């Protein structure tokens, strides 16, 4: 929303709102949420919501740049101009224990 109001950045300055196309903007959103180099700890990438932890493994962030279902994790990837959000609520990640949402970055 902040980007749509004309702001140059959002998410504590980690999201560049001036991306030239929706696919690049989707990638920038994913990066801000999951992979900010200055927030990296050891071999683990964190994003602007770095204090959110995976309830099944508190050593890991709750939000990661991944395309697979992982228990306790919100996995974010980019498909074209969409953010793909996958969530797994229980061990095993059976279909009844997961959700998949696509969020368009185009108007």
pLDDT by residue (tens digit) across 41-76? 888 889 999 999 999 999 999 999 999 999 999 999
Q: Alpha-carbon distance 46 to 80, whole Å?
A: 23
Type and span of the H or E element at 75: strand 74-79
For the chain, the structural domain boundaries read 3-104
The dihedral built from the CA positions of residue 53, 60, 62 and 43, taken in this order, carries a sign that is: positive
pLDDT digits (tens, 9 = 90+) for 10-45: 999 999 888 778 888 899 999 999 999 889 988 888
Identify any residues that bridge with 44 across adjacent strands, giving them in sequence order: 41
């Amino acid at each position: 929303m902040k980007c749509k109001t004309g702001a140059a950045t959002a998410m504590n300055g980690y999201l560049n709102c001036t991306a030239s196309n929706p696919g690049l903007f989707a990638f920038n959103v994913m990066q801000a949420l999951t992979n900010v180099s200055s927030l990296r700890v050891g071999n683990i990438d964190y994003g602007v919501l770095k204090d959110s932890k995976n309830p099944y493994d508190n050593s890991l962030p709750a939000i990661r740049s991944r395309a697979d279902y992982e228990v306790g994790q919100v996995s974010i990837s980019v498909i074209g101009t969409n953010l793909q959000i996958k969530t797994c609520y229980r061990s095993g990640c059976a279909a009844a224990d997961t959700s998949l949402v696509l969020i368009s970055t185009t108007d």
